[in-house]
Structure 1
Amino acid sequence: MEPGPGAAKQPQEALRHAARLTSYSAGLQVLFRVLTFLLNAYTLRYVSKETIGVVNVRLTLLYSTVLFLSREAFRKACLNVGADQKWAQIINLLWLIVPLGMCWALLLGWIWLQLVTIPHPALVPHYGIGVVAFGLSAVVELLSEPLWVLAQVFMLVRLKVIAESLAMVAKCALTVVCVTIVPHWGLYIFSLAQLLYSSCLLACYVLYFVKFVGSQEAQRKSFPISTMSDLMPKYLYHQHVINPRLAILTWTFYKQSFLKQILTEGERYVMTFLNVLNFGEQGVYDIVNNLGSLVARFLFLPIEESFYVFFVKVLERGKDIGHQKQEDVCMAAAVLEMLVKLVLLIGLTITVFGYSYSQLALDIYGGSMLSSGPGPTLLRCYCVYVLLLAVNGMTECFTFAAMSKEEVDRYNFMMVALSLAFLGLSYCLTWWQGGVGFILANCLNMGFRIAHSLQYISHYFKLSENRPLVGLQLPGPLLLAYLGSAIVTSFSQATLSEKGLMALTVHVLLGAVCLIIVLITIFFTEPKLVQFVKNQFLSQHKKET
Structure 2
Amino acid sequence: MARNILASSLQNASFSIIFQIFCRCITFAINAFIVRSIGRDVLGITNVRLLLLESTLLFLSKEAIFRAALSSKHNKHCNWAQLINQLWITVPICCLLSIPCLYIWLRWLSAVEDHFYVQYRFGCYAIAFSCIIELFAEVPIFVSQVFCFVKLKVVMDTTHIFIRSFVFIAIVLLNKTITIYAFGIAQIISALTIIVGNYGFFYVYIPRLDHYRIESKKVDDKYELRKTFGNHYENMDDFPFQSIKDMFPGSLPNPNPTFNSDLKLLVLSFAKQGILKQVLTEGEKYVMSVSPVLTFSEQATYDVVNNMGSLAARFIFRPIEDSSYFYFTQTIARDVDLSQQNQKKVNEACLVLSYVCKTVTSIGLLGLVFGQSYSGTILLLYGGADFVEGGLPEVLLRWHSLAIVLLAINGVTEGYMFATNTSKQIDTYNYYMAVFSVAFLMLSYKLTNWIGPVGFILANCFNMGCRTSYSLYYIYTNFRKIGLNPLSSFLPGSMFLVVLITCGFVCKISESYFRGHSILYHMLIGVLCISVSLLTWSFENRQLLRTGLTKYRERKLSLTYDSN
TM-score, normalization: structure 1? 0.94
Q: Quick one: which of 25, 29, 32 aligns to 1:38? A: 29
Deviation at 1:408, TM superposition (A): 0.6
1:197 equivalenced with 2:214 (yes/no): no
CA deviation profile, 1:108-135 (whole Å, cap 9, x unmatched): 0111011112211225651111111111
Q: Structure 2 counterpart of 1:163, which letter?
A: M
- Structure-1 separation of matches of 2:204 and 2:520: 54
1:307-322 aligned at under 5 Å gives the runs: 307-322=324-339
Determine the structure 1 residue equivalent to 2:433: 415
- Structure-2 separation of matches of 1:175 and 1:45: 16
Greater Cα shift, 472-481 or 450-459 = 472-481
Deviation at 1:473, TM superposition (A): 2.8
1:229 equivalenced with 2:266 (yes/no): no
1:492 equivalenced with 2:510 (yes/no): yes
Greater Cα shift, 311-320 or 63-72 = 311-320
Three-state SS of the structure 2 residue aligned to 1:215 is helix
- Structure-2 separation of matches of 1:183 and 1:247: 47
1:298 equivalenced with 2:312 (yes/no): no
Deviation at 1:338, TM superposition (A): 0.3
Q: Quick one: which of 316, 326, 331 aligns to 2:343? A: 326
- Structure-2 separation of matches of 1:116 and 1:468: 45
Q: Structure 2 counterpart of 1:56, which letter?
A: N
Q: Quick one: which of 195, 205, 208 aligns to 1:212? A: 205
Q: Structure 1 counterpart of 2:285, which letter?
A: R
1:63-102 aligned at under 5 Å gives the runs: 63-82=54-73, 85-102=78-95
1:452 equivalenced with 2:445 (yes/no): no
Q: Structure 1 counterpart of 2:385, which letter?
A: S
Determine the structure 2 residue equivalent to 1:184: 177
- Structure-1 separation of matches of 2:102 and 2:393: 31
Three-state SS of the structure 1 residue aligned to 2:2 is helix
- Structure-2 separation of matches of 1:543 and 1:227: 29
- Structure-2 separation of matches of 1:80 and 1:517: 41
Change in CA separation of 1:365 and 1:542 when aligned onto 2, cut-off 3 Å: farther
Deviation at 1:223, TM superposition (A): 1.1
Q: Quick one: which of 545, 551, 554 aligns to 1:530? A: 545
CA deviation profile, 1:125-152 (whole Å, cap 9, x unmatched): 5111111111111111111111111111
Deviation at 1:540, TM superposition (A): 6.5
- Asked if 1 retains the 8 angstrom alpha-carbon contact of 2:136 and 2:195, the reply is yes
- Asked if 2 retains the 8 angstrom alpha-carbon contact of 1:308 and 1:401, the reply is yes
- Structure-1 separation of matches of 2:318 and 2:426: 21
Change in CA separation of 1:535 and 1:42 when aligned onto 2, cut-off 3 Å: farther
Between the two proteins, the alignment pairs up a number of residues equal to 532
Q: Quick one: which of 18, 36, 40 aligns to 2:9? A: 18
- Asked if 2 retains the 8 angstrom alpha-carbon contact of 1:46 and 1:179, the reply is no
Determine the structure 2 residue equivalent to 1:361: 378
Determine the structure 1 residue equivalent to 2:2: 7
Gaps of 5+ in 1: 1-5
Determine the structure 2 residue equivalent to 1:60: 51
Change in CA separation of 1:79 and 1:429 when aligned onto 2, cut-off 3 Å: same
1:141 equivalenced with 2:134 (yes/no): yes
Greater Cα shift, 344-353 or 458-467 = 458-467
Q: Structure 1 counterpart of 2:127, which letter?
A: F
- Structure-1 separation of matches of 2:339 and 2:242: 40
Q: Quick one: which of 111, 118, 122 aligns to 1:129? A: 122
Determine the structure 2 residue equivalent to 1:268: 285
- Structure-2 separation of matches of 1:60 and 1:340: 30
- Asked if 2 retains the 8 angstrom alpha-carbon contact of 1:20 and 1:540, the reply is no
- Asked if 1 retains the 8 angstrom alpha-carbon contact of 2:355 and 2:490, the reply is no
Greater Cα shift, 187-196 or 119-128 = 119-128
- Asked if 2 retains the 8 angstrom alpha-carbon contact of 1:46 and 1:180, the reply is no
- Structure-2 separation of matches of 1:124 and 1:435: 25
- Structure-1 separation of matches of 2:142 and 2:254: 24
Deviation at 1:257, TM superposition (A): 0.6
Q: Quick one: which of 377, 380, 390 aligns to 2:398? A: 380
Q: Quick one: which of 23, 48, 54 aligns to 2:39? A: 48
Q: Structure 2 counterpart of 1:509, which letter?
A: L
Q: Structure 2 counterpart of 1:530, which letter?
A: L
Three-state SS of the structure 1 residue aligned to 2:356 is helix
CA deviation profile, 1:453-506 (whole Å, cap 9, x unmatched): 1111110111233221123233222111111111111122123212x23xx333
1:483 equivalenced with 2:498 (yes/no): no
- Structure-1 separation of matches of 2:488 and 2:341: 22
Change in CA separation of 1:542 and 1:357 when aligned onto 2, cut-off 3 Å: farther
Aligned identity (percent) is 35
Deviation at 1:345, TM superposition (A): 0.7
Change in CA separation of 1:347 and 1:533 when aligned onto 2, cut-off 3 Å: farther
